[in-house]
A and B are shown apart, each in its own frame.
Chain A
Amino acid sequence: MINVSITVNGVARTEEVADRQLLVHFLRDTCGLRATKVGCDSTSCGACTVLLDGVSVKSCTVLAAQADGSAVTTVEGLAGADDELHPVQAAFHREHGLQCGFCTPGMVMATVGLLNENPNPTEAEVRTALEGNYCRCTGYHNIVRAVLAASEGSVA
């Protein structure tokens, strides 16, 4: 067992975890933040995407120990203090960028990561940037529209 100090959605946490604990299980089981999903569990589907020090990563392939000293943002950490949706969340809502919703937390976090790096992506850039996030419902069309809407700041 080892001690890790990780700031999750702005809250500093120090926890004793197993050496082999994955970040996704730290978030879901230790922190009780269950929006981040375990999908393929093999670094492919992107359902477990979170921001680690502002950069999108697949939390099924990061040890909690590797995140020691870092800041993690999950989809629970996006909304404002008054529960106002983050612009990316609002865009997914407005453009109906989801159906069953399982991939959505990862899709939203990958989008926030993309827009941090490239605030005004083209449609082609959006599709390339989301290639690590699988959606089995939508066919991606509305997801791409939502990302473009969020990037244009056209979401109320």
Chain B
Amino acid sequence: MIPPLFRYERAGSVEQALSLLAEHGDEAKVLAGGHSLLPMMKLRLANPAVLVDIGRIADLRQIRLDGDQVVIGALCTHAQIASSAVIGEHLPLLARAAGMIGDPQVRHRGTIGGSLVHADPKADHPLAALASGATIVVQGSQARREIPSDEFFLGYFTTAVEPDELLVEVRFPSAAGLGWGYEKLVARSNDWAVVGVATVGGRIALAAMGDRPLRARGAEEALAAGLGIQAAADRAAEDTEPNVDISGDVEYRSHIARVLTRRALAAATGSG
């Protein structure tokens, strides 16, 4: 399979990328690692007339500490995140999530920014960002916006990023020293989650339990009320609309969400 015809444009800077996006509007798609977009194009699920390759913008490849926040550039690869000492210390949940994506070759190319804007409700980075209370920073030609992860994912493969904006970095509050849990059930090696659960700092997020990554607010409430892990886990599937496909129906995914939430909370509290 070869992608459908498109025009390849390379941006050497964020400014150049924004100007190409302004020029081509919603005819254009941003190419980072290409590990979601190119497969979608091969399958004719995406058919942009122009690809704006931002892959060489070195400024977007940095990981740095800014006070009590870890700032991760949009082009940081899953491999880079999984092996970063800074992330290992401050965001171990994210390191785990990034290290579970695909396989080594995929992790060498796929980027955190690409994964977040792709917004697959079964994917690892959206789940980890939501559980961690990350803030997604997007740059437009006029303004820079900081979007809380709770407001970023709007539905299947849909985010709050406008066609003329570029995701430039993701800011995570340091979770150094906090207990955390990350559980993912897959049907086969390398696959997306049947259900995923991530928890840190009292937040609990779910993958594949709706059209976007979701907070398990009922479970969070139970946990905050001191009702214990089992009581919290029992409420994990409340107010969800699980994906229904060959990997599971509503009942099965709801059950798995409760089981994985219990395990994730046990890991986070050291009682597993």
Contact = CB atoms under 8 A, between A and B. Distances in A.
A19 B8 contact: yes
Q: Is the interface of A mostly helix, strand, loop or mixed?
A: mixed
Contacts of A110: 104-105
B2 A114 contact: no
Contact of A132 (B2, B3, B6, B190): B190
B53 A66 contact: yes
B8 A131 contact: no
B45 interface: no
Contact of B7 (A19, A22, A129, A132): A19
B54 to A, nearest CB: 11
Contacts of A22: 2-3
A44 B7 CA distance: 26
Contacts of A25: 2
B12 interface: no
B104 A63 contact: no
Nearest to A46: B105
Interface string B180-222: 0000000001100000000000000000000000000000000
Given A43-B35, A63-B38, A131-B189, A57 B8 contact: no
Interface residues of B, number: 27
A20 interface: yes
Contact of B3 (A20, A55, A66): A20
B24 interface: no
Given A19-B8, A20-B6, A66-B34, A55 B108 contact: yes
Given A19-B6, A21-B2, A131-B104, 17 more contacts: A41-B42, A42-B1, A46-B105, A56-B104, A56-B108, A58-B105, A58-B106, A61-B35, A61-B39, A61-B109, A62-B38, A65-B10, A110-B104, A113-B105, A132-B103, A132-B104, A132-B190
Interface of B: 1-8, 10, 31, 34-35, 38-39, 42, 51, 53, 55, 102-106, 108-109, 189-190
Interface of A: 2, 19-22, 25, 41-44, 46, 49, 52, 55-58, 61-63, 65-66, 110, 113-114, 129, 131-133
